[in-house]
């Protein structure tokens, strides 16, 4: 089955700098890659996703890139702000509504003022 590895487990960046979180997946049949943000004590919330027919997707200060050949995908946050502090999870799925989503172990991002 699918296995998703995520690095780093913790990340601390200066406010205004960029943050990058990297993930790899094992199942070449996976074609949908969502990213979730979870604030302390809250539920995970979808922040951006990408499908395998696209190499990059942007939404304001966040972007995701996908390298299907290497089975790598990454989350990039630019101009970080205090409200970006949270745990971020990458995930992979085969993309149909019936398919389960497998999550990485999470990255705790802290923004230093």
Tokens describing residue 40: 């302390």
> Binding to another protein by residue 49, rule CB under 8 A?
yes
Q: Which letter, b or e, does each residue of 49-68 get, where b requires 16 or more Cβ atoms within 10 Å of its Cβ?
A: bbebeeeeeeeeebbbbbee
Residue from 36, 75, 80, 111 touching another protein (CB under 8 A): that is: 36
Count helices and strands (H / E) in the chain: 0, 11
> Binding to another protein by residue 106, rule CB under 8 A?
yes
> Binding to another protein by residue 53, rule CB under 8 A?
no
By CB under 8 A, name the binding residues for another protein. Answer: 1, 6, 9, 32, 34, 36, 42-46, 49, 89, 91, 93, 95-106
């Amino acid at each position: 089955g699918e296995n998703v590895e995520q690095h780093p487990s913790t990340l601390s960046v200066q406010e205004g700098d960029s943050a990058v979180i990297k993930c790899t997946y094992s199942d070449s049949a996976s074609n949908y890659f969502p990213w979730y943000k979870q604030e302390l004590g809250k539920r995970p919330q979808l922040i951006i996703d990408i499908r395998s027919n696209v190499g990059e997707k942007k939404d304001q200060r966040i972007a995701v890139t996908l390298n299907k050949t290497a089975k790598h995908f990454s989350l990039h946050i630019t101009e970080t702000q205090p409200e970006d502090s949270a745990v971020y999870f990458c995930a992979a799925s085969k993309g149909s509504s019936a398919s389960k989503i497998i999550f990485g172990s999470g990255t705790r991002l802290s923004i230093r003022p």
